[in-house]
Structure 1
Amino acid sequence: MNLITSTLNDFYHCCKIPVKAISYELDEIYKIGYNEDFEILFPLNDIRNLVHNEHDYLNHNIKVSENIYYKVMHISKLNKYKGFFVLGPISIQKHNENNNFMTYLPLECFNYCSNLLIGIATDKFNKTMDNKSFNPYIKKAIEYVHKHYDKNISITALCQHLNLNKSYFCSTFKTATGHTFCHFLNHFRVEKSKKLLLETDLNILDIALAVGFNNQNYYSTIFKKFTGKTPFQYRICNKH
């Protein structure tokens, strides 16, 4: 079972919300929880317009009728061309004769569910990364990030540490993981910072410094690129 199929199955069994994955060209990859009535609620032209008019990370609720919504979001925070998750439809009104088979969910809960989906996908990606038979130098680089992400890490210094040619390392890392080293490092730091945002009262600058960013503005820019929100917005939306 591939990563996307496994992610959608786990999400559906947790939330009972129909969910599908589609390619960047809007071809269907996998779906679970759908019936024929649900399928007609997703005009591809609406999704296509949304996708091609959005330059940053996509995570939008789309209103189908007064009470029915679905959500479109990027599969990958690192590579928006990888495709999209489509969540829903859900009804924000309790069941009546028009939506007997549709999951009832308050809209604010729907937003939390999208975070859960990304959390499941991220967890599976990280486990896959840990279990891959990487080149030993790539393994060492990943282990180095896990241990030293809060320090200043440059590719040049890392390659000196590994005794590797910089061009060879960059090419090998991208081939092995599907991401550049800088994207991998920034994504790991952002994931670590989420815990601090939700579980501490540290200010944004202190959190940025704690996970290895030496500039608050750069940290906020990278955080928004990967999550669709600034660190402050993420804290407000998710902290209970």
Structure 2
Amino acid sequence: MSHFKSINGSLLKHDFYPKVTAFYFKTWISFYMDFHRHDDIEIMYVLKGQCIVKVEKQSLLLKQGSFILLDANVPHKLVIDPNKPCRMLNIEFGFVEKNNLLPPLRKLINESQNLHEFLRFPFKYLVLKDTNEIYHTLKSLVLELDSKEEEQELMVQLHMTQLFVWLARMMKNALPQNEEANVYVKRAIDFLHQNYDCDIKIKDVGEAVNLHPGYLHRIFKKQMNLTMVEYLTSLRIEKAKMLLSETEIPIIDIAVYVGMNSRQYFSLLFKKYTETTPLQYRKFSQRNVHQIKE
């Protein structure tokens, strides 16, 4: 399993560990390749010089100390100016399910909100500027992969964990916060609109949009100026108003239609939001309809 996108649910349920599948240093001179893709996730780190990585319709200039993180199976190609050689470090990795002495990624995710958001964020590629942490981690990783020491597997897992932590921190600082929030808030709203008739809890929304419920709650409130519970309640009341005015469905059934199993609770909440009871609202709405028809 290699895709960041495909591991979202599995990482929280099974014992997955990162596995490096390829790594190499390379000095490129006057190089051009066709679009291609890899089965694994790839990091292309510029050690010296510069290059252009084309991803879909984007041409991304990478200079010394910057790198691109590409999800698996994302079409891309490398372009090197003949007058500007480029030395790079490339690493490709995926995820495998196995038993290990170290904690699996799902346990690390539960302990780190940054890591949780990084591994669940929907992206095809990220271009980031290093402050040396990534380079030193990658260098230690490849040196360990080349070693024949008894503890090699243990050290590789530790370096990969360190790499993910640094990447998570860098992504959090690099991504525009409003852009990141927009992605998750929109998904949360879509989920609420599709499931308002169900017994929804904040943790259910968090699982649906692949984000820690506490963090989702904060960005939702900040962007929408109301909590998810308040938004859901308002949505349910609007759906109830439509059913009361446009149908003959019994009020007790309408309560169930909008996700409230108690007619008494539904009536209290409806009056709080509309300053009238469901029955009064139905009579008023139907009277207005008759007057319009007359």
TM-score range, shorter chain: 0.3 to 0.5
TM-score, normalization by structure 2: 0.35
Task: Give the greater-gyration-radius structure (CA).
Answer: 2
Between Structure 1 and Structure 2, the one with more strand by share is 2
TM-score, normalization by structure 1: 0.43
